[in-house]
Amino acid sequence: MQRGNHRVVLALVILSASAALAQSATKLDLPRPSPKGSVTQTVGLTDITVAFSSPGVKGRKIWGEVVPFDKVWRAGANECTKLTVSTPISIEGKPVAAGSYCVFLLPQKSGWTFILSKNLEQAGSDEYKQSEDALRVPATVSTIPPRERMAFTVIDFDDEKGTLAMEWETQRVAVKFTTGTQQKVMAQIHALKSDDWGQYNAAARYLLNTGTEPALAMQLVDRHAAGKDSEALALAQKAQTLGKGAANFFAADDVAKALVSWKK
């Protein structure tokens, strides 16, 4: 065998041995310096999800140093922080379509700005372009007890509204949002056509509990009563609905007890 062929064979043996060693080596599974985090909150009919990486303070000065002022920041670490909303919402009065967005913050001593970008492929602030903004609104900054790891949270929410907040070190940066839940629900109720008497009952109870359109609530109760084999429960619910508007509804306790008993 010629010397050149020997060298080829030797190289192939070395490569094969190296590949075998690499396959048999144990792959390290180490914690990420900025672990992944996420928060999902249903607000009315809307699911709001934020997926982020969570950097730590680690004894550093964050605002003005790790995160410089007057420069767009990716609001986390590693991949872009992603906000996903399942229905259209408004953030600080500006419309946001259902979908996913990258979140950025612009910290300034004069005030912070909350930014949503339509470009989901970017990883850091270096790839950010203002021309790709879907939203840019002022944010509110407040002081909180020290927090080591950055996180997002949804606070102060009910069916119609809430606050989305980023918390890190001693700062909370927040924006308010609305979901338009009642408008969405009322559109469903006004369009309701069903053979299921329970749908009319559920709609009537929603209107009753929210104090919305009492006349429509009574119409729905009537449809519920007409569609149910036994009208006792429906009539009791109608009595409860009527009694809500009367200061001297003396049978309120009895009707409430009957409703609890008959629903079992």
Q: Determine the average pLDDT of the residues in 214-234.
A: 67
Flag whether pLDDT at 143 surpasses 70.
Answer: yes
Look at residue 232 in the predicted model and tell me its pLDDT: 53
What the block records as the tokens of 202 is 């559920």
User: Is the distance from CB of 161 to CB of 179 less than 8 angstroms?
Assistant: yes
- Write b or e for each residue in 67-79: b if 16 or more Cβ atoms lie within 10 A of its Cβ, otherwise e: beeeebbbbbbbb
> Can you give the pTM of this predicted structure?
0.75
Give per-residue pLDDT as tens, 153-165.
Answer: 999 999 999 999 9
Flag whether pLDDT at 236 surpasses 80.
Answer: no
